[in-house]
Amino acid sequence: MTPRRIIATVTFLAGLFYFLEYMLPARIAGVTVPLSQWRVGLGNFMAVLGAFAIGMGWFHLLRGQWRNLVTGQDRSSSIGFFCALAAILYFGFRNELEGAKAPAWVHMGFDLTFNYVFMPLVATVFSLLAFYIVSAAYRAFRIRTWEATLLMGAAFIVMLGQVPVGGWLTAWVPVKWLQLPYLGAWLLGVPNSAAQRAIGFGAAVGALAISLRIWLNLERGAFFSTEGK
Amino acid sequence: MAHRENTNQGFWQRAQTIDRRYLFVLLVVAVALPSFVRISIPVHVFDDTMGVYRSIEGVARANTGKRYRKMVLVMCDWGPGSKGENWPQTESVIHHMLRRGVPFMIMGIDTVGPTLAEGMAERIAPRYGRRYGIDWVSFGFRYFGDPQLLSFVKDIPGFVQRDIHGTPVAKLPVMAGIHDMSDVPLLIDVAAGPEVDRWIRLAQPTYRFKAAFGATAVMAPAYYPYLDSGQLSGLLVGMRGGAEYEELLGAPGQATQGMTLQSMAHLLVAALVILGNIGYVVGRRARR
Amino acid sequence: MLLISAAVLASITRARRGRQLYLRAIPGFSAVDEAAGRATEMGRPVLFSVGLGGVDSITVLTGMTVMQHVGRICARMGARCIVPIDGPSAYPLAQEVMREVWESEGRPESFRADDVKYLTGGQFAWAMAVMGLMTRERVASAFYFGYYGAESLMLAETGYQVGAVQVAGTPDLYQAPFFVVACDYTVFGEEFYAASAYLSREPTMVGSLVGQDLGKMLLLGIAVAGVVLATLVHAGLISANPLVPLLSQ
């Protein structure tokens, strides 16, 4: 049996298990279907596989950064990488394993690396998005066609309707459903909902088709066999 | 006239290619303004937020007089990146459940969200005389792919086994009577990604629980079809959802303050888009 | 689900028997070859990102089929193709795909293993690393095919700043608006899953695409029938019967 054939067989059996386990009732004609009792064990097995995958990534990262350090290419970044790695591993493990028994400086080190460096860094990077949105909006939103104009109008209504200032700006409008919050909610709940459903249908069918191809070993290209090979 | 038109075109042309750093400065000014000028705008409560509120109230009413109380599962699948939106949402629902005595369990697929949620519960619980292990419990971060989700909903104590302090589930009074997802009538998933899809797809048809979603504002439009079909009983949309919930609880906090800032930012973006398009139209006419 | 699956499998069978099937043009895919070629002319590298997730993610696997195609063009024309990876399990697969591409084009010595990089598993740390990579390497073309979160606009804006031609493909809608605004070509929703069919034109893939369309028509028919019946019930013209709740679920 070739490796590809083994992979295809394992893929098919794994997919078949979950498909049958989901579709079949717990009991058929008084007989318990035994598939469900395997679910927990299989789930734990896949979690362990995931942990191995993290190990693979670590190995490549360490190897690449070590090479940079040794060859002198971008050495400062690699030094920063190893220092941060060592700090967060040391404080993280000691804080977790020793808990309350760890000395105060270990808790402080963990707080510093995780709560006062890592978390603010992530939040800061995410907040860059606000600035990028402003520059992208100013640069790209142009009413070149009538569809773009329609889109612009809808965007204005929803954008201002979602914040309190939209309600404040149109509080004087006597017809309630013409006020920005209500108009925005209608746009989101009706036309947007219909469009999302339509695109969702297509994407779901596409995902079903590609899953079917992988499950039945019909996928071609890249890491799968090409037609007739 | 021609000279004035050329000057205008020059100005609008320059405005079209303005260095984006000026725009960044304008944004900073707009967002900082409410810190110096007191601006208070009332928050409108949308139906999607009311849906979450009513779902928790429903669990509270159903638990009245029961020996074994049903629990709410709060999945905190968010990290520091979406803290601005998901933190107020999580805090508000936890506040509501602690106030009404609805028992809940905290879990998450991110390392940060559950930790922050535990801190919120520890801070708010003493106000209402609620205690860990009796009124709420945390199972912390769990690796939670589809197979793990299927395992969890089938046998909750068997999957989680111990809480974050290492206490076995059997020794936690709040988990008495909880076997599988049929004992959890409400799932509140506060997430920065499409995590609630898996619950709706894999577990909800079997266990028929209500699901509420605390989404970032970017993701929320994709979940209105779920609200429409009843698969989601409520939806908290970004920081607005948190602010509306604070309004419902009568406890204005971080989100309510943030909505004023967000209003300024949205007004700025609207103004810039209008200016950009004026320049575009002027330029197009001049080229003709 | 069974009906749609049957439609897909039947179409695949028809296609394999030699029947020619029509595919409409999708500008995003037509631009892939052009964008990759541009990088060669400018002597600058191409960046190809398969987005967030590991090998268990169907979007990563689909992105890799496009990556193989782009890699083949780069190998043929002698351009570098940098692949920043987020999911650790996707890294060895990406390495292997690109190595095989270079070998099949007869240029194994030109393959740079370091161009396929596992950067980090953290979403924003990965995004910052990719932004730095794009700025330092001054990529001429950037391809984003996969699942992205909030970092989509950051990557696209950085690509715009360095003057890269950008082609994006994502199956979900959350980040599609940001890609549409900042990229030159965007492919989203089901078009993303059609990537392998468009680029390879292999009969199995094209047949699958046609089957998908049949499946969608079936869903549309069911939706229309449900809407009509629900409207009639709501108007009191017919009484609700077991069929209506079944169709409306």
CB–CB contact B80 A119 (8 Å): yes
pTM exceeds 0.90, yes or no: no
- Which 3 state secondary structure label does DSSP give C146? strand
| Pair (B30, B111) in one structural domain | no
Q: Which residue of A has its CA nearest to B48?
A: A185
The pLDDT tens digits of the residues spanning C154-204 come to 999 999 999 999 999 998 788 888 898 889 999 888 888 888 788 877 888
Q: Does B25 touch chain A (CB under 8 A)?
A: no
CB–CB contact A134 B23 (8 Å): yes
The pLDDT tens digits of the residues spanning B261-270 come to 999 999 999 9
The pLDDT tens digits of the residues spanning A164-222 come to 999 999 999 999 889 999 999 999 999 999 988 888 888 888 888 888 888 888 776 65
Cβ-in-10-Å burial (0-12, 13-18, 19+) of A35 comes to middle
CATH of the domain at B158: 3.40.50
Question: What's residue A212's pLDDT?
Answer: 85
Question: What's residue B172's pLDDT?
Answer: 95
Best mutation target among B21, B144, B218, B223 (most C Cβ atoms within 10 Å) is: B218
CB–CB contact B145 C56 (8 Å): yes
Best mutation target among A24, A61, A205 (most C Cβ atoms within 10 Å) is: A205
Interface of B with A in 75-134 (CB under 8 A): 79-84, 112
The percent of residues above 70 in pLDDT, for chain B, comes to 97
Q: Which residue of A has its CA nearest to B27?
A: A131
| Pair (B58, B139) in one structural domain | yes
How confident is the model over C3-17, as a mean pLDDT? 84
Q: Does B41 touch chain A (CB under 8 A)?
A: yes
Instruction: For strands B136-141 and A31-32, give the pairing.
Output: unpaired
Most confident of A146-155, B16-25, B136-145, B235-244: B235-244
Domain count, chain B: 2
How confident is the model over A147-166, as a mean pLDDT? 91
**Cα-based distances in Å from C134 to A45, C49, C82, C142:** 38, 11, 9, 9
CB–CB contact C175 B145 (8 Å): no
A229 pLDDT exceeds 60? Answer: no
| Pair (B19, B75) in one structural domain | no
Q: Does B20 touch chain A (CB under 8 A)?
A: yes
CB–CB contact A221 C199 (8 Å): yes
| Pair (B224, B267) in one structural domain | no
Helix axes C90-104, C58-77, angle to 10 degrees: 30
| Pair (B162, B82) in one structural domain | yes
| Pair (B216, B275) in one structural domain | no
Chain B residues whose beta carbon lies within 8 Å of the beta carbon of residue A127: 84
| Pair (B144, B274) in one structural domain | no
Chain B residues whose beta carbon lies within 8 Å of the beta carbon of residue C245: none
Name which of B81, B145, B219 is nearest C174 (Cβ-Cβ): B219
Chain A residues whose beta carbon lies within 8 Å of the beta carbon of residue B43: 164
Reported ipTM: the value is 0.83
The percent of residues above 90 in pLDDT, for chain A, comes to 23
Å between A123 CA and nearest CA of chain C: 9
B250: left (phi > 0), else alpha (psi -120 to 50), else beta? Answer: left
Sign of the CA dihedral B119, B123, B232, A158?
negative
Contacts of C124 (CB under 8 A, 6+ apart): A121, A122, A125, A126, B81, C150, C151
| Pair (B169, B274) in one structural domain | no
Chain B residues whose beta carbon lies within 8 Å of the beta carbon of residue A46: 145, 147-148
Query: A106-115, A183-192, A207-216, C105-114 — which is least confidently predicted?
Result: A207-216
B3 pLDDT exceeds 50? Answer: no
Local confidence band at C243 (pLDDT 50, 70, 90 cut-offs) = low
Q: Which residue of C has its CA nearest to B19?
A: C161
Domain span holding position B278: 2-39+261-287
Give the start-to-end residue ranges of the domains of chain A: 1-71, 74-140
Helix axes B83-100, B254-287, angle to 10 degrees: 150
Chain B residues whose beta carbon lies within 8 Å of the beta carbon of residue A44: 148, 151
The percent of residues above 90 in pLDDT, for chain C, comes to 35
CB–CB contact B194 C173 (8 Å): no
Question: What's residue B1's pLDDT?
Answer: 43
Sign of the CA dihedral B61, B62, B65, B70?
negative
| Pair (B171, B279) in one structural domain | no
| Pair (B61, B18) in one structural domain | no
How confident is the model over C224-231, as a mean pLDDT? 89
| Pair (B154, B34) in one structural domain | no
Question: What's residue C154's pLDDT?
Answer: 92
| Pair (B118, B16) in one structural domain | no
For residues B81 and C124, the answer to whether their CB atoms sit within 8 Å is: yes
Å between A226 CA and nearest CA of chain B: 30
Interface of A with B in 36-55 (CB under 8 A): 36, 39-40, 42-44, 46-47, 50
Å between C150 CA and nearest CA of chain B: 9
User: What mean pLDDT is reported for chain A?
Assistant: 85
Most confident of A28-32, B55-59, C35-39: B55-59
Alpha-carbon Rg for chain C in angstroms:
21
Can you say how many angstroms the Cα of residue A169 is from the centroid of all Cα atoms in its chain? 37
Q: Which residue of B has its CA nearest to C124?
A: B81
Name which of B44, B202, B265 is nearest A167 (Cβ-Cβ): B44
Local confidence band at B223 (pLDDT 50, 70, 90 cut-offs) = very high
